[in-house]
A = this chain, B = another copy of it.
Amino acid sequence: MSDPAQIGPRIKAVRTERGLTQDQLASAVGVSRSAVAQWETGRAGQVTGNLTRIAQCLDVGVEYLMYGMDKSAEEEVSHGDELALLRLYRECTPDDRQTLLRLARRLRATRPD
């Protein structure tokens, strides 16, 4: 799941994307420039308690640094109407759920391209 050896390159990738030098990230996190270099080159097995600060300074999620992405097996819903639909669906009986799924399939099949 988590690949510690990949955290370093990932930190480097995000840092350069943000246009920061190692010195700048080091100052932001509160460590020496060498520490950042060692993180990025995989010398440090884990970046321990600094992980949260690094994520904050780079404006990226801790789980992104750890796993490379948010959970991929699950889907996130953030649109209000999709949330509403999901909640309504969950409050339906199994039969009604099947009805909704069938209608969704029919509507999708007849949509214009």
Contact = CB atoms under 8 A, between A and B. Distances in A.
Interface string A14-54: 00000000000000000000000000000001101100100
Secondary structure at chain A's binding surface: helix, strand, loop or mixed? Answer: helix
A88 B75 contact: no
B75 A83 contact: yes
A101 B107 CA distance: 12
Interface in A73-97: 73-78, 81-86, 88-93, 96-97
A77 B74 contact: yes
- In this complex, the interface size class of chain A, counting residues with CB under 8 Å from chain B, is 35 or more
A105 B92 CA distance: 9
Interface of A: 1-2, 4, 45-46, 48-49, 52, 56, 61-63, 66, 71, 73-78, 81-86, 88-93, 96-97, 99-101, 103-105, 107-108, 111-112
